[in-house]
Structures are given as structure tokens and as C-alpha cells.
């Protein structure tokens, strides 16, 4: 799990606020100055990553830890600049399928203003398969 903690640190995760077995999740991040481009605006890849992570946590809450949610498609619309400070990424299942599901999410600032919205098509893959493929790719 050290890899996950390193990723969480890089992305500025403060806490997983909530997850719900109905397929919902809320994560709080700290948008850092180091994540900004010119003008003090957070680079869009971080914003996309925060919402994508919330959708992954929603998928794991809905489907259990035995699956790995793999993003097949991600579409993000940016509504307002994201500035340094706390942000909340929320996600929910829109339509659940046996192997493929559709999720939606948004990013809000501390005042509740929606800064970006996203939709995602997620492939639900058996975790054992993902681990075996990773070991094979690493030559283990």
C-alpha cells in the first residue's frame, strides 16, 4: 500500500470524507501552489485526477475491494479556475453494469462552488487479474 500513500501525497489527499455502497464517494484534497501553472491556477490534470479518484473510490465502494476500476474514458468540463486551498471531489454511479459502469463527479471549492464536472466509463476488473498482469509485466 506504500504506492497508494505516495500517490495520495502527490495528489494532496487530505482525507476520504465518505464512501457509500450505493456507489458514492467524497474526497478532500489540498490544492497546492506547486500544482499551479501561470496565474496561480491549478493545472487541469490534477483537477481531472481528483475527480477520477473520487469516481474510482465510488466504484470500489459499490463493487468491493476485489475489483480494480480502470478508466476507459474520462471527459472533464472546467467551469471556473481552481485556486490553492481545500477542494472536495464527489462522485456517484450513474449506471451500473456487470463489467462496465458509468460514473459522474464534480469538484467543488470550500464555498461549494462547482469548479469542474466529469463523466467516466469504468471497466471493472478482477483485482487478482490486475496483480498477475503487473507481475508478468515486471518479469516476476
Give percent of the chain above pLDDT 90.
80
DSSP string, 53-73: HHHHHHHHHHH-TTEEEEEEE
Q: What is the DSSP letter of 17?
A: E
Q: Cell 474514458 belongs to which residue?
A: 73
18 φψ region: left (φ > 0), alpha (ψ -120 to 50), beta (else) = beta
Considering the entire predicted model, what is its pTM? 0.91
Q: What is the C-alpha to C-alpha distance for residues 49 and 15, in angstroms, rounded to an integer?
A: 15
Ordered by where they begin, the domains of the chain are 2-137 (3.10.129.10)
Assess whether pLDDT exceeds 50 at residue 1: no
Instruction: pLDDT band for 9, please (50, 70, 90 cuts).
Output: confident
Comparing C-alpha atoms, which of 89, 30, 84 is closest to residue 54?
A: 89
Write the pLDDT tens digit of every residue in 29-83: 999 999 999 889 999 999 999 999 999 999 999 999 899 999 999 999 999 999 9
Amino acid at each position: 500500500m506504500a504506492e497508494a500513500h505516495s500517490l495520495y501525497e502527490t495528489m494532496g489527499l487530505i482525507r476520504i470524507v465518505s464512501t457509500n455502497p450505493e456507489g458514492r464517494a467524497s474526497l478532500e484534497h489540498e490544492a497546492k501552489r506547486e500544482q499551479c501553472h501561470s496565474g496561480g491556477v491549478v493545472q487541469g490534470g490534477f483537477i481531472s485526477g481528483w475527480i477520477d479518484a473520487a469516481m474510482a473510490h465510488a466504484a470500489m465502494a459499490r463493487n468491493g475491494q476485489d475489483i480494480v476500476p480502470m478508466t476507459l474514458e474520462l471527459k472533464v468540463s472546467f467551469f471556473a479556475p481552481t485556486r490553492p486551498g481545500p477542494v472536495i471531489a464527489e462522485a456517484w454511479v450513474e449506471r451500473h453494469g456487470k463489467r462496465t459502469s458509468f460514473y459522474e463527479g464534480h469538484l467543488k471549492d470550500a464555498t461549494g462552488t462547482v469548479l469542474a464536472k466529469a463523466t467516466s466509463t469504468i471497466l471493472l476488473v478482477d483485482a487478482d487479474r490486475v496483480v498477475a498482469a503487473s507481475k508478468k509485466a515486471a518479469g516476476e
